[in-house]
Chains A and B, each alone.
Chain A
Amino acid sequence: MSLLSQIIQFTFSGLANGGTYILVALGLNIIYNATGIINFAQGEFAVFGSFIMITLCMAWGIPAPVAFPITVLALAGIGALFHRTAIAPLKKPSVITMVIITIGGSIFMRGVAMLIWGKYPQRLDPFIDAPPIRFMDAIIKWDTLLVLVIVALVVAALYWFFEKTVTGKAMRACAENREAALLMGINVDRIVLLSFALSAALGAVAGVVYTPGASMEYGRGPYFGLRGFEVAIIGGLGNSVGAVLAGILIGLFETFSAGFLSPTYKEAITLALLLLVLFVKPSGILGKAEVARLKDF
């Protein structure tokens, strides 16, 4: 197997992982923009999405194209519920309080997932059960391509939502200036609720595209969360274009460091990149001026 075909193989593996990270990071950004909160329970949304999809497809035998939107809607509901029960009752939340309460939420959701779906990893059948594409000795699964298409579609849909719809514009206005939005007659509370629902729905998509062919277990939330933070921060918190770029970057970096450096220390190497960015340029790879401009999206 030549170096080139290895690189092709790694690229596709990396992009597939990166796609999931992008979705988690976008979810984090939406909540961050609307409320200034980093939601440490974001990874748990992905786990719930994945498990609900597994239950619908594997246990109840609902075909994947039908189960997918049901899962996304269910998670939107869970997201809204999370906001109403854990976030909204707080009167004067400080950053520390918010960090701790969302961590509490993530632990709670993990406990619930464990109670409902048990401790064993659960499997989801591949979406497209066809022989993989062979290209120069590299093997590319149809599901990998599907993941990339879904991620691209979701990103495009978000763009449309934030640019063209009234609700999307209202959410942007809230992100820009809460008081001003309030004065313009925007129902800020509803917008915040909506952002939690949307963010959880994105988490569900992340969980669903991650699972086929692989498996899911209750304790995987922090893994998604951690990668999501990494992507969100490296892309610049609240910056969605940055998140897409950073997601691709992290996915590839992770796979190539495992492939060519050390699979054993992959985790440490990938996180060291996060610390480096935090220390050198906490505003993310796309500098400050651009952040302000691109914050829209």
Chain B
Amino acid sequence: MLKKRIITLGLLLALAAFAGSMVGCKAAKQAREKGTEAAKNIKEKVGGEAKGEAIKIGAIFSVTGKASFLGEPEKKTVEMLEEQINAAGGINGSPIDVIVYDDEGDEAKTQELAKKLIFEDEVVAIIGPSRSGNTMAIKDFMGQNKTVLISAAAAEAIVEPLNPWVFKTPQKDSYVARHLLQQMQDAGITKIAVLYGNEAFGQEGLKQIKAYAADHGVQIAAELAYEPAATEGDLETLLTKVKADASLQAAINWTILPAQSIVPKKMKELGIKIPLYQSHGFGNIKYVEAAGDAANGIIFAGGRLLVAHNLPDGDPQKKVLVDYKEAYESRFAEEVSTFGGHAYDALWIVVNAIKEAGTDKAAIRDAIENSTFIGTGGVFKFTPTDHNGLGMDSLSLLTVKNGSFALLEQ
């Protein structure tokens, strides 16, 4: 009896508390709004007098964790740019303050950090995250809170369907897939195997290859996934399957895992002679070094940053690419990668928009939608319906020659 009474009492109390708080909420909310308004007024007054208050820009990268090879160069790039921009007088006299957080590749952390940046640090815009999954985790949230996000992740889904507040700088996955498939069509290849890392990057790649293969008359005879923790033996098993099917004419290996170096090595060991195509994830010279001899001849599509010095002088991107590459490499004593370039583009696009439109969030968004920018990823031409702004020509077919990247000669 007592138990029942307590339960009923508890439920009633909870309901009462809930109803009461709902009423109280409105009052509290109004109080809150008044408070923030007052704060805003004060800020505006102070801001008017003390010119040169720092403009805060947020950044979320996967600096540590599974995707640290993306986030680390991104964070370094942003820190370097921040210094450069401030040394050159900031934006119209105000310095910028880029607050970089690490999401460790964990989506729940990305969500927390986006909240922290918007509500605690009160930034005017956010760049990043590094990974597609993490970007998707806050896509809706950015729209709800009306703050610009410029992602440094590749997946198509970030800008399609379009969220008015979300942009991205890397070339779309589908461009890479179409470049590779076009090259296969030209080479007369009709039957291929697709190997992919069973994580976001590989899975998105598989999706795009499947979507465009038929257009180029290419048939996918086998889809072979491997786990991030795949051993040499596991990859050997998959490649044995490739070897067993003599009708295969080429293989695509789409991943950002170390498997990009192991697969070519294993193919050589097993004596598999068909050409190997890889994704833009291969755009880091460390993978070429790890694969040794076996890397030569791999075909992949990537940004022109990797071959900056070999570009013709007339190329519109050449100056940007060479400048960024030299600044980064001399400062951090390590080779530049395309990933840092995505962050470079994202930060500059935000900074340019603030220069033009001030620090109002909606104004920044509108300014970006009507901007063009020559960056490391290509020549961006944003419109209200195109939040990537890059075309197929932003990528080139590349290959490895004598252990270094080179443009593929058609």
Q: Do A and B assemble together?
A: yes
**Chain B proximity of A174: nearest CB distance (Å):** 35
Is the CB–CB distance between B198 and A13 below 8 Å?
no
Is the CB–CB distance between B224 and A214 below 8 Å?
no
Q: Mark A9-36, 1 if CB is under 8 A from B, else 0.
A: 1100110110000000000000000000
Is the CB–CB distance between A1 and B225 below 8 Å?
no
CB nearest to B257 among chain A residues: A121
CB nearest to B262 among chain A residues: A214
User: A132 at the A/B interface (Cβ < 8 Å)?
Assistant: yes
**Chain B proximity of A15: nearest CB distance (Å):** 9
**Chain A proximity of B274: nearest CB distance (Å):** 13
User: B68 at the A/B interface (Cβ < 8 Å)?
Assistant: yes
The docked-state distance in angstroms from the alpha carbon of A16 to that of B231 is 10
The docked-state distance in angstroms from the alpha carbon of A16 to that of B236 is 12
- Residues of chain B within 8 A (CB-CB) of A14 are 233
- Residues of chain B within 8 A (CB-CB) of A121 are 258
User: B215 at the A/B interface (Cβ < 8 Å)?
Assistant: no
- Residues of chain B within 8 A (CB-CB) of A213 are 232
**Chain B proximity of A4: nearest CB distance (Å):** 11
Chain A, interface size category, equals 20 to 34
Instruction: Please tell me which one of the listed residues B223, B232, B237, B270 contacts residue A214 in the complex, with CB atoms under 8 A apart.
Output: B232
The docked-state distance in angstroms from the alpha carbon of A210 to that of B230 is 12
Is the CB–CB distance between B64 and A119 below 8 Å?
yes
**Chain B proximity of A229: nearest CB distance (Å):** 16
User: B19 at the A/B interface (Cβ < 8 Å)?
Assistant: no
Q: Mark B206-227, 1 if CB is under 8 A from A, else 0.
A: 0000000000000000011111
In the complex, which residues 241-286 of chain A have their Cβ closer than 8 Å to any Cβ of chain B? 255, 258-259, 263-264, 266-267
CB nearest to A255 among chain B residues: B237
Say whether, besides A120-B69, A132-B269, A263 and B232 are in contact (CB < 8 Å).
Answer: no
Is the CB–CB distance between A120 and B68 below 8 Å?
yes
- Residues of chain B within 8 A (CB-CB) of A10 are 237, 240
The docked-state distance in angstroms from the alpha carbon of A46 to that of B224 is 28
In the complex, which residues 183-230 of chain A have their Cβ closer than 8 Å to any Cβ of chain B? 210, 213-215, 219-220, 223
- Residues of chain A within 8 A (CB-CB) of B241 are 6, 259
Is the CB–CB distance between B236 and A9 below 8 Å?
yes
Say whether, besides A119-B64, A258-B237, A215 and B258 are in contact (CB < 8 Å).
Answer: yes
Q: Mark B221-265, 1 if CB is under 8 A from A, else 0.
A: 001111101011110111011011010000000000010001000
User: A169 at the A/B interface (Cβ < 8 Å)?
Assistant: no
Interface centre among B236, B258, B262 (most CB of A within 10 A): B236
Instruction: Please tell me which one of the listed residues A1, A138, A223, A264 contacts residue B229 in the complex, with CB atoms under 8 A apart.
Output: A223
The docked-state distance in angstroms from the alpha carbon of A229 to that of B254 is 32
**Chain B proximity of A157: nearest CB distance (Å):** 25
Instruction: Please tell me which one of the listed residues B69, B225, B246, B258 contacts residue A263 in the complex, with CB atoms under 8 A apart.
Output: B225
Interface centre among B68, B238, B258, B262 (most CB of A within 10 A): B258
CB nearest to A220 among chain B residues: B229
Is the CB–CB distance between A1 and B68 below 8 Å?
no
Instruction: Please tell me which one of the listed residues A6, A119, A120, A223 contacts residue B240 in the complex, with CB atoms under 8 A apart.
Output: A6
**Chain B proximity of A250: nearest CB distance (Å):** 13
**Chain A proximity of B375: nearest CB distance (Å):** 27
Residue pairs across A and B with Cβ atoms less than 8 A apart, 14 shown, are A9-B240, A10-B237, A13-B234, A13-B240, A119-B65, A120-B69, A139-B270, A139-B271, A141-B269, A255-B237, A259-B240, A259-B241, A263-B237, A267-B227
5 closest A-B pairs by beta carbon, nearest first, are: A13-B233, A264-B225, A1-B244, A214-B232, A9-B240
- Measured CB to CB, the residues of B under 8 A from A are 64-66, 68-69, 198, 223-227, 229, 231-234, 236-238, 240-241, 243-244, 246, 258, 262, 269-271, 290
**Extra inter-chain contacts (17) besides given A17-B231, A119-B64, A259-B237, CB under 8 Å:** A1-B240, A1-B244, A3-B244, A6-B241, A10-B237, A13-B234, A13-B240, A16-B233, A119-B65, A137-B243, A138-B240, A139-B270, A210-B231, A219-B66, A258-B234, A263-B234, A264-B198
